[in-house]
Amino acid sequence: MARGSVVWRCWKCRLNTTTGKCDCPGGKYYVVYYLGEKQTWKPVSQNKHEAEKVLHKIQYQVDAGLYREPEPIEFGEFVDTRWLPYIEGRVKHRVYRRYKEVVHQYLKPAFGGYILRKITTEMVREFVESIKDKRLTKGAVQQQIAPSTVNQALRILKQILADAERWECINRNPALPIAPLKVEEQEKKPLEPDEIRRFLQNVNGGWKTLFQVLIFTGLRIGEVLALQKDDIDLDENVIHINREIFWLRKKELQETETEGQPLWRFSTPKTKKSKRAVVIRSRTLKEALVQHLLTSPANPNNLVFITKNGTPRSPRNVYRKFQETLKKAGLRRIPLHRLRDTYDALEIAAKTPAKFIQQQMGHASITTTFDVYGKPLPEMYMDLADLDDVVFSRKAAPANDLLRNLAGWSGNKVNNGQDPTLTN
């Protein structure tokens, strides 16, 4: 086997030893190996076991004739010329856009000028510690960077360095030992039945039908805006999800030399499970869709929801209309995606089987359905089968009761029924 050893080195104590270590924070283990008669020292970390694993890998590669010194390429150059072009064709456009934003906003300022193989675990740890206390300016408001954003930057950095290791630009991934920050789970409170009724009373026409689809099917906004009329089978009570829509930025059109082309594009659904048939579980929604499809004008792409010009509605305009309607109805401000949580809560309230909810929402794992979206609902709703019965029941629970935990709660079941004053 090729010669090599693990050595603890501390410049402060001037200590080089294979049998012990000092307590200085700057000390770390190095692997020492030979290529012919040339001795090479490579810093690893303060973890001896990790250093031993690195040494054994190098020794194996040297013995097998596979080892070569990593090329001296800077992090910034590697990301711009190799990693981003590689990843662009392998992920969806919105994912690639986010990767690029994180790289240029966080990673290149921290590591851009460093040679890849010179990046250490300690540097990565210091990077995480430094950005978690930074504040970003958005308009006139300064906001602290959220732990989830820090973790996203760390996750992307790990992926970049893992690919660099796989392409033999580095011998080990120095970011692997760094654990993500703890993220406090925030309650995702959906709209409650009386809030849904108030919301729908304050919106009309095609906008109302669009929001009814979001509330009563749990579709993602990109899936709803990409719906074509042939995707809706009212005889079978099914909406087929075959595509989603996304919008480019004008700058991206300029970069790809496609100026003059429309900003929107069709793409495949988010995951394999996202391509699905969604059952229409609301009588109110079905009636609204019948009326909407009868009155909706023809358009080149046969889309269900369009602007006056016959083009697809943009998510930004949908979000703007959503916030305007919430304000008009006197409801709290929530993100548009919270309507997906609302649908999940309604299905749980209707005592819908968990597997069916998972299939409706297009989740790859059933744990996502309940860990991320699921909310416990009062017992009084658990025997209702139709989503209209949950929303338009004559004796709907008070808003502050709907999300009360089932543990310790007691109440009387109500008769099924629809409030005739609240129907469409």
Condensed to tens digits (0 to 9), the pLDDT of residues 272-311 reads 888 999 999 999 999 999 999 999 999 999 999 999 988 9
Q: Is the dihedral of CA 92, 98, 99, 104 positive or negative?
A: positive
The pLDDT of residue 196 is 95
Based on the fold, state whether residues 120 and 25 are members of the same structural domain.
no
Number of domains in the chain: 3
* Domain co-membership, 29 together with 130: no
* 413 vs 342, more confident: 342
**336 in helix, strand or coil?**
coil
Q: Is the pLDDT of residue 419 over 80?
A: no
Claim to verify: residue 131 and residue 104 sit in the same structural domain:
yes
Is 364 found in the same domain as 215? yes
Indicate the burial class of 92 (C-beta count within 10 angstroms; 0-12, 13-18, 19 or more): middle
Average pLDDT rounded to a whole number, residues 243-271: 74
Predicted local confidence at residue 81, as pLDDT: 93
The reply to whether 113 falls in a domain is yes
What does pLDDT average to over the chain? 82
Is 372 inside any structural domain? yes
What CATH number does residue 391 fall under? 1.10.443
pLDDT above 60 for 362: yes
- pLDDT at 238 (0 to 100): 93
Concatenate the DSSP letters of all residues of 72-102 into one string: --BHHHHIIIIIHHHHHTTS-HHHHHHHHHH
Give domain status of residue 305, yes or no.
yes
Do 155 and 287 lie in a common domain? Answer: no
Asked if 162 and 87 sit in the same domain, the reply is yes
Inter-CA distances, 51 with 41, 55, 61, 145, 165, Å: 12, 6, 16, 33, 16
pTM of the model: 0.69
Q: What pLDDT is recorded for position 404?
A: 36
Are 58 and 110 in the same domain? no
Among 17, 36, 63, the domain-final residue is: 63
Query: Among 18, 36, 63, which residue terminates a domain?
Result: 63
Question: 396 in a domain, yes or no?
Answer: yes
Query: Do 160 and 35 reside in the same domain of the chain?
Result: no
Reduced to 3 states, what is the DSSP secondary structure of residue 112? coil
Same domain, 346 and 207: yes
Asked if residue 285 belongs to a domain, the reply is: yes
- Is the same domain home to 299 and 408? yes
The reported pLDDT for the residue numbered 229 is 95
According to the model, what pLDDT value does residue 124 have? 95
**Do 131 and 15 fall into the same domain?**
no
Q: State mean pLDDT over 355-371.
A: 74
Residue 111 in contact with residue 154, Cβ under 8 Å? no
- With respect to residue 158, please indicate whether it lies within any of the assigned structural domains: yes
Q: Is residue 37 part of a domain?
A: yes
Rounded Cα–Cα distance for residues 260 and 236 (Å): 40
Pick from 190-194, 223-227, 372-376: least confident: 372-376
Q: If pLDDT is split at 50, 70 and 90, which confidence band does 413 have?
A: very low
Q: What is the mean pLDDT of residues 198-203?
A: 96
Q: What is the pLDDT of residue 39?
A: 84
Residue 185 pLDDT = 75
Domain that holds residue 39: 4-63
The answer to whether residue 383 is domain-embedded is yes
Is residue 382 domain-shared with residue 313, that is, in the same domain?
yes
For the stretch 119-175, pLDDT in tens is: 999 999 999 998 887 766 555 556 788 899 999 999 999 999 999 988 888 878 999
Contact (Cβ atoms closer than 8 angstroms) between residue 193 and residue 397:
yes
Q: How much of the chain exceeds pLDDT 90, in percent?
A: 45
